[in-house]
Amino acid sequence: MGWTAADIPEQRGHTVVVTGANSGIGLETTRKLARNGATVVMACRDTDRGENAARDIRVDIPDADLRVETCDLASLESLRAFADRLGDESIDVLINNAGTMAIPRRETADGFETQFGVNHLGHFALTGLVLDDLRTDGPEPARVVTVSSGLHERGEIVFDDLHGERSYDRWDAYSQSKLANVLFAYELERRFRAGGVNAVSVAVHPGYADTKLQSRGVEDRGRVIRAATRLANTVLAQPAEQGALPTLYAATAPDVEGGAYYGPGGLMNMRGPPERQASSDRSYDRETARRLWAVSSDLTGVSYDLPEPMPETRSS
């Protein structure tokens, strides 16, 4: 049967931050972590929706330890305020989950193309801003779980037009942002190791999960495309509850390895129990990851107190 939510270890005493916790994968991740005793900080752009989601969870789990906080990944100011409110609170797991998919070109409050700005730069900045809270002295390493997508495989980092100002395709922009997620997760793991930090960084993808992301991505595309999307969700997609399993596995399973990529192992990696998988060839390009890290730090103004990893040595 593979790994299921029933295999989640006891989480009492663990504090987990989940971005985009009010719907889809983030909501189901929050629900399962709370059921197993975790304290979950629900980092949401819309706190009214966050509070509604928290109330929904408490219907089934009356003692759920939840806290809703404003965290808008499209605003560096909001991210800094969120990190300031956390103060010195210890974080056991940071789940970089929130995202937007295949939308018309828009810009964040800071002038970034929205998909790249929210999906990648927002999470890059957030992780750096709470980095000190992730440095635990306990026996278990802290974890950073970054949610990507199988569509990262078609992605390419277009450094001379990251924000799609000269040429914009909604799916190319989404795929670029999701490739950036994986590159970031792997580079963060390398820097954790170089700095001797008691933390691991992991990338995951949910497969094809029936969430609001798909409908938002086609809401302006006409009736035929909207109907086809609904049909595909009905026939092919797994429920968000199942799509959350790779995230939950990466966040809680004792045998998770830093620098790994986990996703559903069933039909075309679209559904099924989580397993370790290989990501795209581009995602393992260390020079691209290093360059993306430097650009991301410059754009967000967020620097990490972590050493740059040594260059990869090649055997002769």
Is position 249 annotated as part of the catalytic site? no
Pair 213, 101: CB distance under 8 Å: yes
Instruction: Report CA 17 to chain centroid distance, whole Å.
Output: 11
Chain position carrying tokens 């939510």: 5
Chain position carrying tokens 């009905």: 234
CB atoms within 10 A of CB 67: 13
Pair 244, 219: CB distance under 8 Å: no
Would you state the structure tokens that stand for residue 259, as one six-digit string? 């620098």
Task: Report helix, strand or coil for 238.
Answer: strand
Pair 176, 157: CB distance under 8 Å: yes
CB atoms within 10 A of CB 194: 13
Instruction: Report CA 118 to chain centroid distance, whole Å.
Output: 10
Instruction: State the DSSP string of 14-73.
Output: -EEEEETTTSHHHHHHHHHHHHTT-EEEEEES-HHHHHHHHHHHHHH-TT-EEEEEE--T
Active site residue: 174, 208, 249, 261, which one? 174
Task: Report helix, strand or coil for 312.
Answer: coil
CA dist 224 and 213 (Å) reads 18
Partnered with residue 107 across adjacent β-strands are: 113
Q: Could you tell me which residues come within 8 angstroms of residue 298 by beta carbon, excluding any fewer than 6 positions away?
A: none
CA dist 49 and 42 (Å) reads 11
Residue 130 DSSP label: T
Asked whether the CA dihedral 212, 83, 115, 274 is positive or negative, the reply is negative
Known catalytic residues?
A: 174
